[in-house]
Amino acid sequence: FCVKDSLSRLFARCGCVQSVDIYEKPGPGEKKEKVTSKFFNCKTVTGFQVAYVVFRKPAGVQAAKALSREGPLLISTESHPVKTGISKWIASYAASVVDQEELKAEVDAYMQDYDKKIAEEEAKAAEEEGVPDEEGWVKVTRKGRKPGLPRTEAANLRVLEREKQKRARKELLNFYAWQHRETKREHIAQLRKKFEEDKQRIALMRAQRKFRPY
């Protein structure tokens, strides 16, 4: 229930609040990075927390210390009620539902910035390629290697088509191999049959040569 907005409102009576930071535990915490996305890398801190309130002027700190003599500070008031129970659950669920159009706009903007960054790095690498530095060393870049595929729908379709062709060739080769094995089996069976027939004919000829009643 105690969030940045409520803390900033409570301590505003002491002076202009510059910032409010909430951490899991007290101590010299690292400086938080600026939150650029409401969909990704949003860590929710649960349980007891520690808040650091920074005033714009030092007088705000002295005024905040004197608040202990005025009694407890109320987070939920008639003018600023705090949602609890079912109302809080409903609000939390509504906040968890992702707006697809907003998410798509954020992802598209991120990919545009990423593509721009990659293009700048490639242009810089192309300028530095083959140019020796102060000590005479030449920087070798990856420009000559096979570039990565662009992340577009057409490129994905081409990859899928190549995979489909590979599977078709593999299935065809397997069929040829199976057909070759079947043909070889049939040939061996015919040879064995012919061998048995020849063996029987030779035995018959030998018997006729030995048995001569006249």
Q: Tell me which of 56-70, 127-141, 177-191 is least confident.
A: 127-141
Residue 6, pLDDT above cutoff 80: yes
Paired tokens of 17: 């609040």
Which of 23-32, 78-87, 122-131, 184-193 is most confident? 184-193
31 vs 20: which has the higher pLDDT: 20
What percentage of the chain carries pLDDT values higher than 70?
75
pLDDT at 139: 63
pLDDT of residue 35: 61
67 and 73 Cβ atoms separated by less than 8 Å = yes
Would you say 37 and 31 are in contact if contact means Cβ atoms under 8 Å apart? no
String of b and e for 148-167 (b: at least 16 CB within 10 Å)?
eeeeeeeeeeeeeeeeeeee
* CA–CA distance, 15 with 129 (Å, rounded to integer): 57
Mean pLDDT within 68-79: 76
Can you give the pLDDT at residue 55? Answer: 92
Give the amino acid at 1.
Answer: F
Average model confidence (pLDDT) across the chain:
77
Please state the rounded mean pLDDT for residues 41-55: 78
Mean pLDDT over 72-91 rounds to 80
Tokens representing 152 are: 């577009």
In angstroms, what is the C-alpha Rg of the chain?
41
